[in-house]
Amino acid sequence: MALNNIWVFAQVANGAPTSATLELLTKARSLSSNVTAIIGGDGASAAALGEFGATKVYAISHGANLPGVAIASALKSVIDGGETPDLIMFPQNYEGRDVMSRLSVKIDKTVITNNIDISDSGDGVTVTTPIFGGNTLVETTFTGAGPYLAAFRPKSFAAESAGGAAAAVTAIAVPDLGATGSATVTAVHVEETTGPKLDEANIVVAGGRGLGEATSFAMVEELASLLKGAPGASRAIVDAGWVPYSYQVGQTGKVVKPTIYIAVGISGATQHMVGMKGSKNIIAINKDKEAPIFGVADLGIVGDVHKVLPKLIEALKGR
């Protein structure tokens, strides 16, 4: 079927579109020549969004309202006004999921999340979802009429500039939200980080519960900094409060595809693997030779992190 009109839920961080946004725009423009970027806030990023393929920007300023209900309500008003997109692409993250969920009810359409690919054949629009840690790929085809709502994991597509002109910006007002608009942000807390960003670093050193205690994470940080990489973590130690959520790699955390991923004291649960299996080279240190992480490791050391890491750090320091 022809995709005559695609909307992409776009996000801006520090004044520039996020990498996930540029990935989705790149894919969208390969499926349709009519791509609109939906943005929470103003249209200041229209030039960058246009460069990657958006022809229009719908800018929705939602103030202190959480984006989910506010942006979905504004989009519903556009659809009620007579414009029906065939497909709406979302990033698989907090804001994307909330907007998509609210909108799916407002227009009574299904959602398919956690995708890594999409194709449009004569038979319909099909998305691909990895399950069981990425070992099995499920293809699902939308049935009935659109809009089709689909969310994609980060790094599913390569972002490439189209050299496009700045997109034309239209401001869309948020309708009266009634009781649903009661949730408001009263303060924003941002964690300061230094060094390369986890999802952009060339080398990632990630620690897990095998480190034994929170203070041992210092070894992971030291190794990461010696290699000019970024430290990461399994969910087990995020939940335990050893490190902030922004360190988490996996299904509910970041997707990383560095040149080298070093997993330290991480078992390799399926939910962790979907976030790091795409790394070019994987090194694992784990004292259990049966740990699933060894199934994807290029170099696996069966040993105690407290013995291997200090020696490795010493050796690298001496260089």
Partner 1 sequence: MNVIVCVKQIPDPAAPGALDGATNTLKRDGKLILDDSDAYGVEMALQLVDAAGGGEVSLVSMAPNGETSGLRTALAMGAAKGVLISDPALQGSDALTTAKILAAAVKRLGGADLIIGATESSDGYTGTVPEQMAELLGLPSVTFAKKVSVEGGTLKVNRQTENGYDEVTCALPALISVTAGVVEPRYPSFKGIMAAKSKPVEEVTAADLGVTPVGWAGAGQKISNVTQAEARQAGEIIEDDGETFGKIVGFLENLKVI
Ligand X SMILES: Cc1cc2nc3c(=O)[nH]c(=O)nc-3n(C[C@H](O)[C@H](O)[C@H](O)COP(=O)(O)OP(=O)(O)OC[C@H]3O[C@@H](n4cnc5c(N)ncnc54)[C@H](O)[C@@H]3O)c2cc1C
- Measured from the CB atom, the residue of 32 and 101 that comes closer to ligand X is 101
- Measured from the CB atom, the residue of 40 and 265 that comes closer to ligand X is 265
Stretch that binds partner 1, among 33-41, 78-86, 97-105, 206-214 (CB under 8 A): 97-105
Q: Which amino acid is at 34?
A: N
Regarding beta strands 230-233 and 203-207, do their DSSP bridges make them parallel or antiparallel, or are they unpaired?
parallel
Shortest Cβ 225–ligand X spacing (Å): 21
Q: Which of 177, 289, 119, 309 is nearest to 231 (CA)?
A: 309
Asked if 286 and 293 touch (Cβ cutoff 8 Å), the reply is yes
Choosing among ligand X, partner 1, none, which partner's interface includes residue 245 (Cβ < 5 to 8 Å by kind)?
partner 1
Binding-residue pattern over the window 41 to 80 for partner 1, x denoting contact by CB under 8 A = -------------------------x-xx--x--------
Among 260, 263, 266, 276, indicate the residue that binds partner 1 (CB under 8 A).
260
Question: Kindly report the CA angle at 126 between 123 and 131, in degrees rounded to 5?
Answer: 145
Shortest Cβ 166–partner 1 spacing (Å): 26
- Measured from the CB atom, the residue of 311 and 319 that comes closer to ligand X is 311
Bridge partner residues of 57 (DSSP): 37, 169
Choosing among ligand X, partner 1, none, which partner's interface includes residue 27 (Cβ < 5 to 8 Å by kind)?
none
Structure tokens at 242: 């050893």
Among 163, 188, 194, 215, indicate the residue that binds partner 1 (CB under 8 A).
188
Entry field: residues in the chain: 319
Q: In the complex, which residues of this chain contact ligand X (CB under 6 A)? A: 208-210, 212, 234-237, 248-253, 265-267, 269, 271-272, 275, 285-288, 291, 304-306
DSSP letters spanning 229-289: -EEEE-HHHHHTTSS-GGGBBSTTSB----SEEEEES----HHHHTTTTT-SEEEEEES-T
Regarding beta strands 12-13 and 16-17, do their DSSP bridges make them parallel or antiparallel, or are they unpaired?
antiparallel
Shortest Cβ 93–ligand X spacing (Å): 12
Choosing among ligand X, partner 1, none, which partner's interface includes residue 30 (Cβ < 5 to 8 Å by kind)?
none
159: contact with partner 1 by CB under 8 A = no
